[in-house]
Amino acid sequence: MTPDAATRERARALVLAHGWNAMAYQLLNPGFTHWFDARGDALVGHVTRSRTRIVAGAPVSAAARVADVARAFEAEAHARRERVLWFGAGERLESLWAHDPSRAFLPLGAQPWWDPRSWSAIVAARRSLRAQLARTRGKGVTVEEWTPARAQASAALRDVLRTWLAARGLPPLHFLVEPQTLDHLDDRRLLVALREGAPIAFMVATPIPARRAWLVEQWPRRPDAPNGTVERLLDATMRVLAAAGAEQVTLGLAPLSVRAPQVPLPGGRTLAPWVALALRWARAHGRRFYDVDGLDAFKAKFAPQRWEPLFAITDTPTITPRALWAIAGAFAQGSPLVLAVRGVVRAARG
């Protein structure tokens, strides 16, 4: 086993033992740096941009160890003259630092949750969803669950992913929207939509082991897939996960979502005017490259049973431009300006 493979297996063991945040298993995707606590019983996954460590979620550890692990990680970062930003920190860190004046909270959006055991009732109450499912059946769309080995060997699935990425407004993003998961299925479950025997879409479900929960991480589809194909995949995925004993399913973060309860920032904080303006600008103009409104509406149409607001938490008392730039760099896997230019070029070619 190579050193990289051994590190990933060590990280995987901790995620399977303690993964509580919805994005915990995504730490095993390509591109993450894995930091292990000195005791060897905790993991932090991050990427570093602009001398800022952007952490995916919170420490992967026993609940009683989260605070100690977070402090140890920040101490090492500060010794190296680096800042830390906990992206999508979750309830454990939010409650820990809600009244800490040395921390700032940045609203990111919200993630929807369902109990898959109630999915049949949700479908029965949504006429539009039933119509979409009926449409795909009429178009001859079927759904199968594939083993990791079969999926990894399928050139057709990779072609579905390639054509889907080619149709996006931006070049592929990374960090928590990493598209290259087919070589890292391991504990994931993968359902494939087929038409006339050929794959036209697939859906990847990722475990959240400590909560009997799953994250539906990815749903690429061919441009010619019939309307309702993704709905058909989600319907099958919910039923498969419910049969496997899942109690919660999420579709992950809807960036800048307006669906979350309009709760104040933790600890009575308020956003600096320039930060509030930057978020409004991103929602108004970012759709040229990334359709946040469309993604928000797509997740909402499945009638989530609750929306969970998500925040980024900094190790500074205010949000800084450096922090926002580092977040953008994490998703761009490099310079956000270079990504934007590449997006403009792609749009011009289109």
What angle, rounded to 10 degrees, do the helices at 127-138 and 229-243 form? 100
Note every long-range contact of 227-231, with CB atoms under 8 Å and residues 24 or more positions apart, other chains counting. Answer: 227/132, 227/135, 227/136, 228/131, 228/132, 228/133, 228/135, 228/136, 228/139, 228/141, 229/136, 229/141, 229/193, 229/200, 229/201, 230/201, 230/203, 231/129, 231/132, 231/133, 231/136
pLDDT of residue 284: 73
Instruction: Check if the beta carbon of residue 118 is closer than 8 Å to that of residue 303.
Output: no
- Predicted TM-score (pTM) of the model is 0.91
Instruction: Check if the beta carbon of residue 188 is closer than 8 Å to that of residue 148.
Output: yes
Structure tokens at 312: 């980024």
pLDDT, tens only, 63-78: 999 999 999 999 999 9
Instruction: Check if the beta carbon of residue 31 is closer than 8 Å to that of residue 175.
Output: yes
What would the mean pLDDT of 303-313 be, rounded to a whole number? Answer: 95
Instruction: Check if the beta carbon of residue 54 is closer than 8 Å to that of residue 21.
Output: no
**Which neighbouring-strand residues pair with 49?**
52
pLDDT of residue 142: 97
Q: 209: helix, coil or strand?
A: helix
What percentage of the chain carries pLDDT values higher than 90? 74
What would the mean pLDDT of 237-258 be, rounded to a whole number? Answer: 94
Taking 70 as the threshold, does the pLDDT of residue 239 lie above it? yes
CA distances (Å), origin 291, targets 3, 14, 295, 324:
39, 34, 6, 19
Residue 95 pLDDT level (bands cut at 50, 70, 90): very high
d(CA 24, CA 87): 12
pLDDT, tens only, 256-307: 887 765 667 888 888 899 998 888 887 776 666 667 888 889 999 999 999 9
Residues in the chain: 350
Q: 84: helix, coil or strand?
A: strand
For 126, counting Cβ atoms within 10 Å of its Cβ (0-12 exposed, 13-18 middle, 19+ buried), the class is: middle
Number of separate helices (H) and strands (E) present in the chain? 12, 12
d(CA 69, CA 71): 5
For 70, counting Cβ atoms within 10 Å of its Cβ (0-12 exposed, 13-18 middle, 19+ buried), the class is: buried
Quick one: how far is CA 46 from the chain centroid?
14
Q: CB-based contacts of 276: which residues, under 8 Å, 6+ apart?
A: none
What would the mean pLDDT of 126-131 be, rounded to a whole number? Answer: 94
Q: For 81-90, 144-153, 180-189, which range has the lowest pLDDT when averaged over its residues?
A: 180-189
d(CA 24, CA 35): 14
pLDDT of residue 169: 63
What is the biggest distance separating any 2 CA atoms in the chain, rounded to whole angstroms? 61
d(CA 92, CA 115): 21
pLDDT of residue 339: 53
Q: 162: helix, coil or strand?
A: helix
pLDDT of residue 320: 94
**Domains contained in the chain, CATH given:** 3-111+256-297+307-349 (no CATH), 113-250 (3.40.630.30)
For 312, counting Cβ atoms within 10 Å of its Cβ (0-12 exposed, 13-18 middle, 19+ buried), the class is: buried
Taking 90 as the threshold, does the pLDDT of residue 93 lie above it? yes
pLDDT, tens only, 165-203: 988 766 667 788 888 899 889 899 999 999 999 999 999
